[in-house]
A = this chain, B = another copy of it.
Amino acid sequence: MNRHQSDERVLPSTVTWSCPTPLVNSDRVLIGHGGGGKLTADLISRIFLPHFKNAHLDRLCDAATVAAGSAQVALATDAFVVRPLFFPGGNIGDLAVNGTVNDLAMSGAVPRYLTASFVLEEGLLLSELEAIVGSMGRAAKRAGVEIVAGDTKVVERGRGDGCYISTAGVGAFAPGIDLDPRHAQPGDVVLLSGTIGEHGMAIMSVREGLEFESPIVSDSAPLNGLAQTILRACPDTRVLRDPTRGGVATALIEIAQAAGVGIQLEETAVPVQPPVAAACELLGIDPLYVANEGKLLAIVPPDDADAVLAAMRQHEYGREAVVVGAVVGRSELESSVALTMRTSLGARRVISMPIGEQLPRIC
C-alpha cells in the first residue's frame, strides 16, 4: 500500500472521467472498482454512462437535479456495505441515512424524504437489525427527513455479510441555489469544515485492532444544516462536496477536473487529529485519501470566504472550519495536474487520484 501511494505522489494524474481504455487488464470486478478512485471512475465511464446516458447523470454530481411538476428536486442514492456493521461513532444504519442526506445537501437541496432497502444475510441477529434500524430512525429525525418507503430481501448464509443497505433520497431546492463543481474558478477559496480521516480510521482501527489513548470515533453526521448555513452566508457558493470514499484528495481532484481548474492545498492547514495521524502512519495511509462522513469542502468566492468561515464556526459540525487552499488556473500547474499540495517544508507535491481501494468497505 505504501509503495502504491508513493508512486501516486510522484506521478501526475493523467486519467479523467472519460477514460477510453481500461486501467487494469481484468475481465472481472475487482475490489478496487468500489474504491471511489480511478477504477471506479473507469467502471462508470465504460459501463454505466454509455447505457444510462442522460443529461442528469452526465453531470456526475453526488445528486441529480430533476423536475417534479413545477418544482426542481434533487435525487441521490448510495449503497452501504461497511464492515464491521457497528463501529465507534455509529453503525451502518446512521451511516446510510447521513450518507444520502449529505449527498442531497451537497447539491444545495434540503433533504426531505428517504427510501431504504435492505439485503439481509440469513442468520443476522434480529437484535442487531433492530439496533441498526433504530439508529436509522434517530439519524433521520436528527437530519429532519422521513423514511417513507422500504424493502427487505434475505439472502442465504455466505451470500452477504449481515446487512447491506441502500438509501435513496429526495431533496427540495430553495430558489436561486445552483451548485456545480464546474463553477469553481481561479481565485476561489477552499474551506474544510474540520479534521479529516476520522471515519475511515475509526473503521480501520477496529479491523486492525489498533488501540490509542483516545479511541478514534467516526465523524458520521448529517451536514444539511451546515450546508444551509453556508448557503445563507454566501448564496453564491460555487461547490459543496463531502469528501467520503477517496477522501479530500479525490473530492478536490474531481472538482478540479470538472471545472478545468487546478487546486492548491496547504498541508499545514489541513487538520488531522493526533490519533488519526498516528493510525495513518502505522497503516501507511495518507489521511488525504481517507473517507470522512461528517465533513464538507466548500468552494466560495474570495470576498465571501471570511463570512462563510465565521458562519461555519458557529455551527455544531463546522466549529473547526479552516481555509485549506485555493483554486488556480490550470496554466499555473502542469496542464494535466488537478491538485497539488504545498508541504510543511515548502515543497510542491502533485496529488493524484488513487487507482483502487485503499480501505475496502469503509462505507
Q: Does A264 contact B (CB under 8 A)?
A: no
Q: How far, in Å, is A26 (CB) from chain B's closest CB?
A: 7
Copies in the complex: 2
Seen from chain A, the residues whose Cβ lies within 8 Å of a Cβ on chain B are: 26-35, 40, 43-44, 47-48, 51-54, 56-57, 63-64, 66, 68-73, 75-81, 112-113, 115-127, 129-130, 133-134, 136-137, 140, 146-156, 158-161, 164, 166, 168, 170, 172, 357, 360-361, 363
Q: How far, in Å, is A70 (CB) from chain B's closest CB?
A: 6
* Contact between B33 and A133, CB atoms less than 8 A apart: no
Complex Cα–Cα for A63 and B118 (A): 16
- Determine which of B43, B54, B69 lies in contact with A172 in the assembled complex, contact meaning CB atoms within 8 Å: B69
Of the candidates A116, A153, A158, the one having the most CB atoms from chain B within 10 angstroms of its own CB is: A153
Consensus secondary structure, chain A interface: mixed
Contacts A120-B29, A146-B56, A164-B164: A81 and B155 contacting too (C-beta < 8 A)?
yes
- Determine which of B52, B147, B172 lies in contact with A137 in the assembled complex, contact meaning CB atoms within 8 Å: B52
Contacts A40-B152, A149-B76, A154-B357: A126 and B52 contacting too (C-beta < 8 A)?
no
Complex Cα–Cα for A127 and B46 (A): 11
* Contact between A52 and B133, CB atoms less than 8 A apart: yes
* Contact between B124 and A28, CB atoms less than 8 A apart: yes
Nearest residue (CB) in B for A78 is B151
* Contact between B151 and A79, CB atoms less than 8 A apart: yes
Complex Cα–Cα for A298 and B140 (A): 35
Contacts A47-B130, A149-B63: A172 and B28 contacting too (C-beta < 8 A)?
no
* Contact between B26 and A126, CB atoms less than 8 A apart: yes
Contacts A56-B149, A75-B170, A148-B64: A154 and B112 contacting too (C-beta < 8 A)?
no
A149 contact set on B, CB distance < 8 A: 56-57, 63-64, 75-77, 168
Contacts A34-B120, A57-B147: A80 and B29 contacting too (C-beta < 8 A)?
no
* Contact between A115 and B51, CB atoms less than 8 A apart: no
Known A-B contacts: A27-B127, A158-B158. Give 20 more (CB < 8 A): A29-B154, A34-B153, A44-B150, A52-B116, A54-B146, A56-B146, A64-B115, A69-B69, A69-B73, A77-B168, A81-B155, A117-B166, A119-B164, A153-B164, A153-B363, A156-B360, A156-B361, A160-B160, A160-B161, A170-B170
Nearest residue (CB) in B for A54 is B146
